[in-house]
Structure 1
């Protein structure tokens, strides 16, 4: 036979969890043409890669990506493809980049800047379909799929308001979800700790999630609480799945804060009870003890209920700052969801700012900055957000390694990065998948190599409905990673996150090399996927 590319003498890990076998893979026209076991006779190929006993597996699928705007400024998405990611799922935490109809995109852009950054150029789209077209027109290295976001559709109808929707409002929101699904969204996401989705009640969330039922696509949720009220938040999430019949996918599962540490098995029993109840529930995790998000998330909800302009006004008003301080203090007592109050200011680090004037604070904790400036932590938060027009990211140290490891070994859990770009980012942006394969497979031996690969490939493909990805089979997409299990490692750390991994030699997307001999090729064979 003749092939465009053949990878020979490889340890083939097919993504299912089955044991690896020695063989070769032939690739034609972006698809896997044939998989040969054992030694092969000469295949006539334009490009031949001798893996020399290294592993080849399906490309890694990041089920929680925040590359929605980054892909326009860096279409290679080098930090992702260098760690073997070939498909990313965008539109997370209720924040999709579309639909945006007849509204001020500047306000939405400012609101999202701490998580998504800002676009490289003008927003040229309104509908989700137009957003996907813009991606394809620009060209990208990996594949991307997107969810439609709860916060986005709520913003279209109610702006940033904390008011409850009328029946007509809810109908408009439901229509926007359905329209996005018709245009190719892979599911619906919410972020119930973020404005404006945080102002919704269970009935609103249930009604919007129910739009997924005819399509069989997942409801992906950052639940209302990952701390003291996590049990109520999980119950709400599972009940929505049971009542609507839609698949559920739990974003970045964690038990945050000292009160919940060591209670992973209690949460896992909820997952298993849900599945016994008939709820199709899957879960994702990033393998780190710190999380990251936008610094605005430490603010009381009322501060953001009137939009970014009013938020900035509040942050500059002495009376409003006094109320912010009192509310944060009350959160400490009452146990409401607030990362700043519970994590402790010494455990919150600034990851990125927009201006050069404040770049010196990147990598420093809020407590340290307060000491350096001879002021209090709330003043630091308010001053930074004002100066940077809300574009400030933060890193939160809030988990234990023992809990991270226990979650990782659960068979329902797949791997994701949840990585935010810019400044001094979380090391997961550069090193999530190599960390799994080095720290937890080769060194700690808590996962087999085959099981780890399953958690990065076929399991996330199943959860997100990526039917032609995640498994090595003839006829499926030729998204592949060639790596050395003995040397693969992450080099990204909290102190030095901008470090590419070692041990990943080749990465292919749709049959084309996006990484060749550990170097980004610049090729853009990826596509904006649609359902």
Structure 2
């Protein structure tokens, strides 16, 4: 028996949570042909990897990305692949490119996800599909790097069928024909293998362009009847609703969480976005786990989506989505013209409004609104680098932190770069969620917010924390359970063929050097995106950690170097729900 690749002597994790063991793996074609305690016959095998002292684990799954645009222009998706992500999910937050036309897609993605609008338009202008089935066919004609699964975005289909202007007006409801067409589009997507639908009720995701600029996403205008009828289809098909509630509205949160319950109808598999341990609300985290357990005990199937690393964000000037959640910030971002924006930022009436909203202590929010917790990392004025805006205000005669911030933004614009941590800052809470079955690990937003955050290697950072705790003699969960949480657990819940590494399973795997699961994983780096006119985006580069990545049995990345096949020939495939 011959193999295309043999991986020798690695600590093998199968993705089920079962005990790991030293094993030799033989790959043939796109499958794992052998998992053996004894050495395999290397005769005729062209690719032998000595993995002694290393781990071999199933390729990890990223359940929350916004690669919908990038996959059309750079389908290798190398920044995720290099860190061991072999399966990604498209269509998060009600946004997808299945039905929407190019200009509307630019308006939907440009400001909400901070993907340059003109590049969104250019990518979607090349579309050759009109239906979900044709979209899947188009993806599979691309030289995909990782495997791809998808959700249909509610805002996508609502815009396509109602028009962006009508879809974002409070008093406009879909006609009976439009409602039926939306339901038909969802059914067709589920028939094509989509795992479900994504929706959004969060009110600080705002649109770009001219038609509906600064209105919220189309799905936020849907009334309960429209959502119920779409959810009914998901219930009947046992598919997933991914959603983001309006965190300022207890009614929205209650409606989305309680929708998982059956109550004389099929339950709804529901996963809600969560910034989790918010600095702005340090107590919310203590009810999330118990709430998920209660809902599931009552017959629901509910999960929170949680990023298992500190939620650190960077900003160039005032260009950051967190400013959308209050009026003064949204007013500034509404102005695309820099001269007009600067005039507003100088205006004292505007500044009084900004200070008032900044100082408000009550109400649900995502950003902690503390400029003493916002460090300047780049600026033409070297004297302010390393300081917070609050400290700059003190240095300048006791200026209010808002005035110190706005003065610097007006003077330096996007040359002013700063950072803060929004949530997930308490290690003990991260540890708690690591083991919570009501929490799914993901929410990387890969492919979006290109200048604002980089969580492409969140899975490796999670394994680092679990491994470090084990070495220190205070284990959080076993390494086997940690691997399972990033692989097989997610694949099972979404119903896709991924996340396992046993004989007969698809050969999507990574080889990890545990000696390099270290602090280098947290390092800041930038790299250009050729498809976006060489825009520099935040990335992670810890290339010593991942020795090899295989997708569909093909070596695609290792030690920081992409294999020639990556992005040139398809290694991944579209994963259809229920296709295990």
Q: CA RMSD in A?
A: 4.3
- Contact map agreement 2:5 2:48 (CA 8 A) in 1: yes
- Alignment correspondent of 1:487: 516
Name the TM-score, length of structure 2 as normaliser: 0.75
What is residue 246 of structure 2 aligned with on the other side? 224
**2:170 equivalent among 152, 163, 183:** 163
Once the two structures are superposed, the pairs formed by residues 34-73 of structure 1 within 5 Å of their partners are: 34-42=34-42, 44-73=44-73
Partner-residue secondary structure (3-state), 2:520:
coil
> TM-score of the superposition, structure 1-length normalised?
0.81
Matching of residue 257 in structure 1 with residue 262 in structure 2: no
CA distance in 1, matches of 2:69, 2:228: 28
Per-residue deviation, 1:28: 1.7
Change (3 A) 1:456 1:43: farther
Other-structure match for 2:572? 526
**For 2:190, what is the secondary structure of its paired residue?**
helix
Q: Quick one: which of 140, 143, 151 aligns to 1:147?
A: 151
Distance in 2 between the 1:399 and 1:98 partners? 33
Question: Gaps (5+ residues) in structure 2?
Answer: 206-215, 526-538
- Contact 2:328/2:350, CA 8 A, preserved across alignment: no
Look up the match of 1:426: 453
Give me the whole-angstrom Cα distance separating, in 2, the residues matched to 1:366 and 1:328: 14
Structure 2 residue aligned with 1:238 = 257
Deviation sequence 1:341-389 (CA, Å, 0-9, x none): x43345568999xxxx9xxx999978799999998489689979xx99x
2:141 counterpart SS class = helix
State how many pairs are aligned.
515
The aligned runs of 1:84-483 (5 Å cut-off) are 84-101=84-101, 104-112=104-112, 114-115=114-115, 118-119=119-120, 121-123=122-124, 124-125=126-127, 127=130, 128-156=132-160, 157=162, 159=164, 161-166=168-173, 168=175, 169-193=178-202, 194=205, 195-196=216-217, 197-225=219-247, 233-243=252-262, 245-252=267-274, 254-261=276-283, 264-290=285-311, 292=313, 295-299=320-324, 326=353, 329=356, 333=360, 335-340=362-367, 342-347=368-373, 376=403, 396-401=421-426, 402-416=428-442, 417-420=444-447, 424-429=451-456, 431-443=457-469, 445-466=475-496, 468-483=497-512
Deviation per residue, 1:448-504 (Å, 9 max, x gap): 2111101110011122211x2111122221101111223333524465454234321
- The structural deviation recorded for 1:291 is 5.1
> How far off is 1:99 after superposition?
1.6
Q: Secondary structure at the match of 1:271?
A: helix
Residue 379 and residue 65 in structure 1: after superposition, are their counterparts in 2 closer, same or farther (change >3 A)?
A: same
| SS state at 1:283 partner | strand
Query: Structure 1 residues 529, 350: CA separation in 2 closer, same or farther (over 3 Å shift)?
Result: farther
Q: Which residues in structure 2 correspond to 1:13-24 (within 5 Å)?
A: 13-24=13-24
Structure 1 portions without partners, runs of 5+: none
